[in-house]
Structure 1
Amino acid sequence: MLVTGFLEDGCPYQVQVTGQADRPIEGSARVRALVEQYSGKPVLLGPLGPRRTLDPGDSRAVVALLRQHTRVVEQRE
Structure 2
Amino acid sequence: MIVTGTLEDGAAYEVELTGREDRPVVGSRRVRALVEQHTGLPVLLTPLGPQRTLAAADTAAVLALLRQLTAVVEVRP
TM-score by length of 1: 0.99
SS in structure 1 of the partner of residue 19 of structure 2: coil
**Separation in structure 2 between the aligned mates of residue 68 and residue 56 of structure 1, nearest angstrom:** 16
Matched residues, percent identical?
Answer: 65
SS in structure 1 of the partner of residue 4 of structure 2: strand
Aligned to 1:54: 54
Runs of 4+ deviating beyond 6 Å: none
Write the letter of the residue equivalent to 1:15.
V
How many correspondences in the alignment? 77
Aligned to 2:69: 69
Aligned to 1:38: 38
Write the letter of the residue equivalent to 2:72.
V
**Separation in structure 1 between the aligned mates of residue 69 and residue 7 of structure 2, nearest angstrom:** 8
Structure 1, gaps ≥5 residues long: none
Give the alignment's Cα RMSD to 1 decimal: 0.3
Structure 2, gaps ≥5 residues long: none
Residue 50 of structure 1, CA deviation: 0.2
TM-score by length of 2: 0.99
